[in-house]
Structure 1
Amino acid sequence: MMQRILLFIFKTASATFVFAQTSNQRPVSSEDLEYYLLQSFLVADSKQRIALNHIGIQGRFEESGFLVTAVLEGYPAHAAGIDRGDVILSADNEPFHPVHSFNLERNGSGDFVRITSEHQLRIQRGDSSTELSLAPVYENLFDSYRSATANSVQEFSAGNKVIGYIRFWALSRSTNDIINYQELIRNLDHCDGIIFDLRNSFGFLDSQHLDLVFNDKSSYFSVTEPPNSGFNFAQISPVLEFANYRKPIALLLNEDTRGGPELFAYQLDKLERVVSLGNSTPGQIGNFALNNGNDGASIDYLSAEELLIDGNEFEGIGVNPEIEVQFEYENTTRGDPQYDAAINTLLGII
């Protein structure tokens, strides 16, 4: 059975926009950690989100092991000191797998069984390796990414200025999450500038996300499917009653900033007080299809090649940052050159 999900911005109260779709990527199977992230965002009911034991990482398989590409703040990997660029070699002396290593059992309903025991992970960082002991959390990834966003918030002094920081691991259109975003921004309103970190970010965009920063909706982008379907993004939701943040923002992007966060970045880049840094985003604003067939569960990505944002192609193009700053995932040196560049850029304009 295939369930097609309208992603990000293409469904309003008054109309549904159906656009030409092609699938040019391999399906994401339930063997992949990515599947559980996508699934948790795409299901209609929060009770359908699949909980699993995990340690709060993103990554990909390399010849040497599992390369960590991102670490969620406040989760076991972060607490244990695992960092971006580390390679996880093994778990309990077996080859590491982000799903299988912690989810060996299912209950009678087919759900993963919660575990509380610690696991021994061998980590390689550059030319050295170490062993760490940590216990996973049992949670769906929607909730994990929401919590990690709140956990990421910080502020610090730089000279006589105060800079805030939020890593938006996920964007959600739910009322509760919009309220949470308001609270995060409100708590940093006194800062002279804020870093919005959208690297490795995923999720759904709502016009009320933009209301957190924009004075009004007049510049919000339009969405068009030739020949004659379209709408203005300002129409998605009522105006958010909120004292928007009006000071400089540094925006961090990379090749794993996808979907709603890409459009968030695209719109923010229209403001002169916003500077984007990092790497180009992939331009993935299409649909997903959930498949539950005899061969197992999987998710297909359906690209939106005909869809135009402000009259221009976006799929496969994405957002190019104003300031290109390289930071390869394989980089094992301590420090974050993109983050450092964001701080220096803000200090130059606040």
Structure 2
Amino acid sequence: MRFLSTGSVLTVFLILATAARTEDLPRSGQPVFDRVIELVNANFYDAAAIDRFNAAARAQINSGSGPRSGARAPAQATEAITSVLANLGVSHTGRFTPDTIDYFELSDIFRFAIRDDVRRLFAPDGEVRYPGIGMVTLAVGGRRFVSDVYDGSAAKKAGLLVGDEVLSVDGLPYREIGSFSDKVGRSVDIRLRRYRDAEPLSVRVEVERLRPLPMFEHAIEQSMVLDERDGRTIGYVRLWTLSTRDGLDLVAEALSRGRLKDAEGLVVDLRGRWGGGSADAAEFLVGGTPTFRLVSRRGDVTLANFRWQKPVVALIDEGTRSGLELFAYTLRQNSVPLVGERTAGALLAGRAYVLPDDSLLELAVSDAVIGDDLRLEGVGIAPDISVAFPLAYAAGKDPQREAALRVMGQLLDAGTKGRTIPSSEPAMTR
């Protein structure tokens, strides 16, 4: 007789137990909805929320508008999935469809997690691409406004500004992906309103095929500028995400011997799109180890380790989330002044899954605890200096950035290391 090892017995037991639980899950017969239920039950980080989640799923199934087969199945499933996931009440959890920019950007960020599907989804080479102009919008009061213009993008070059109201693209209502499909290499006519009650403007922008992570890397590099004011030279860089391979290396190189090397102080903009990155990403701004280079026999120099030793001011808002939020927390712990608005309170570990209709499920799979018991999820970090940013009809004005530059000027005039601005409210609660 062949005996199973203790580990094998445990494995079999877990498989049987999982199968038993799977049979007890809420079932609608709609494959996308049911797969979401399975994935949440198997992977969501907070076991205490599962019973509540399943109860919400059963309520959706039993409701008159719940998920089911038939002509309206996709729309009903979308509404039902949105509702049950919202019941979990946490960040890093949502469903994304291919008619949104988020779908493509997250697919690139999570490309390793979806590696078995990425070549099929993004044929022929598995490189994530989408048609666009480098602009992101946000709905406010039933109208749609430009919320981000990526540095170096076609939208930036064409003169689109944050705060512009988007009225139409080629005479049709704006759609994130649909407005630019089949138009790569051609220009589109974007109708917009820059000032409240003003006459509309028309701007022509060339449509590109965008690869999210290389685009973000390029945007980080293109954002770097030196601002000369009141006899001071202040560097600025925007970290759109920490998920790129070489983004932080580009910043370190610029500060070490590139376009930002002559800066007396640095404003680092953490008002990003996505987080990502390693837990020690902020170390090059606050770490104690010295800068050093490797020099070859031929005299070739490689920057091996860089540490910025001059003043820093950081910009934060609700776009500061996940890894960028941890970055901001690290700066706060090192007394770097934070300017702007409270961060997102979105610090969990997420993972992506491809659903049966090729939509993407992002799911929080791990809690994130700083030290012994500090959690930023649902709390966020308050700025030291609070500055609002009304989006609608901002006409490209950025009061938060202007405030950060003023703070840096004050720190430089005072001759400090730039780390003594008092907080106007507690940074966070436990």
- TM-score using structure 2 length: 0.65
Larger CA Rg, structure 1 vs 2: 2
- Contact persistence 1:30–1:36 (CA under 8 A): yes
Distance 1:333 1:78, change over 3 A: closer
Q: What SS does the corresponding residue of 2:221 show, helix, strand or coil?
A: helix
Structure 2 equivalent of residue 41 of structure 1: 109
Q: Which amino acid aligns with 2:184?
A: I
Shift of 1:178: 4.2
Of residues 180, 185, 188, the one that matches 2:250 is: 180
Q: Does 1:204 align with 2:272?
A: no
Moved >4 Å (runs of 4+)? 62-65
Of residues 73, 86, 96, the one that matches 2:151 is: 73
Shift of 1:82: 1.0
Structure 1 equivalent of residue 323 of structure 2: 260
Distance 1:315 1:63, change over 3 A: closer
Distance 1:20 1:241, change over 3 A: farther
Structure 2 equivalent of residue 162 of structure 1: 233
Superposed CA deviations along residues 39-78 of structure 1, whole A, max 9, x for unmatched, are 1111126964420111111222356543211111111111
Q: Which amino acid aligns with 1:299?
A: L
Q: Does 1:345 align with 2:403?
A: no
Of residues 379, 382, 398, the one that matches 1:317 is: 379
- Contact persistence 1:201–1:261 (CA under 8 A): no
Shift of 1:200: 2.7
Shift of 1:294: 3.2
Q: What SS does the corresponding residue of 1:39 show, helix, strand or coil?
A: helix
Q: What SS does the corresponding residue of 1:209 show, helix, strand or coil?
A: coil
Alignment of 1:17-28 (within 5 A): 19-20=45-46, 23-24=88-89, 26-28=94-96
Superposed CA deviations along residues 264-320 of structure 1, whole A, max 9, x for unmatched, are 111011223x2100011112122334343333412334275x532123121111221
Shift of 1:208: 5.2
**Mapped partners of 2:140, 2:332: distance in 1:** 34
Q: What SS does the corresponding residue of 2:328 show, helix, strand or coil?
A: helix
**Mapped partners of 1:194, 1:178: distance in 2:** 14
Shift of 1:142: 1.3
**Mapped partners of 1:289, 1:207: distance in 2:** 17
Q: Does 1:194 align with 2:270?
A: no
Q: Which amino acid aligns with 2:219?
A: A
For structure 1, the 5+ residue unaligned runs are: 4-17, 105-113, 218-239
Of residues 191, 204, 208, the one that matches 1:137 is: 208
Alignment of 1:323-342 (within 5 A): 323-342=385-404
**Mapped partners of 1:189, 1:345: distance in 2:** 20
Q: Which amino acid aligns with 2:107?
A: Q
**Mapped partners of 2:383, 2:171: distance in 1:** 42
Say which structure is richer in strand: 1
**Mapped partners of 1:60, 1:276: distance in 2:** 24
**Mapped partners of 1:20, 1:173: distance in 2:** 29
Q: What SS does the corresponding residue of 2:178 show, helix, strand or coil?
A: coil
Of residues 236, 242, 253, the one that matches 2:305 is: 242
Q: Does 1:269 align with 2:332?
A: yes
Q: What SS does the corresponding residue of 2:408 show, helix, strand or coil?
A: helix
Shift of 1:173: 6.2
**Mapped partners of 1:282, 1:209: distance in 2:** 18
**Mapped partners of 1:118, 1:250: distance in 2:** 39
Distance 1:66 1:49, change over 3 A: farther
Q: Which amino acid aligns with 1:81?
A: G
Distance 1:173 1:32, change over 3 A: closer
Shift of 1:19: 4.4
Distance 1:331 1:249, change over 3 A: farther
Q: Which amino acid aligns with 1:67?
A: F
RMSD between superposed Cα atoms in Å: 2.7
Superposed CA deviations along residues 196-251 of structure 1, whole A, max 9, x for unmatched, are 0111342322255323112338xxxxxxxxxxxxxxxxxxxxxx942411111110
Structure 2 equivalent of residue 230 of structure 1: none
For structure 2, the 5+ residue unaligned runs are: 1-31, 37-43, 50-87, 119-124, 290-302, 413-430
Q: What SS does the corresponding residue of 1:180 show, helix, strand or coil?
A: helix
Q: What SS does the corresponding residue of 1:27 show, helix, strand or coil?
A: strand
**Mapped partners of 1:294, 1:260: distance in 2:** 29
**Mapped partners of 1:307, 1:94: distance in 2:** 43
Superposed CA deviations along residues 155-191 of structure 1, whole A, max 9, x for unmatched, are 02222221000011111363x4443232122232431
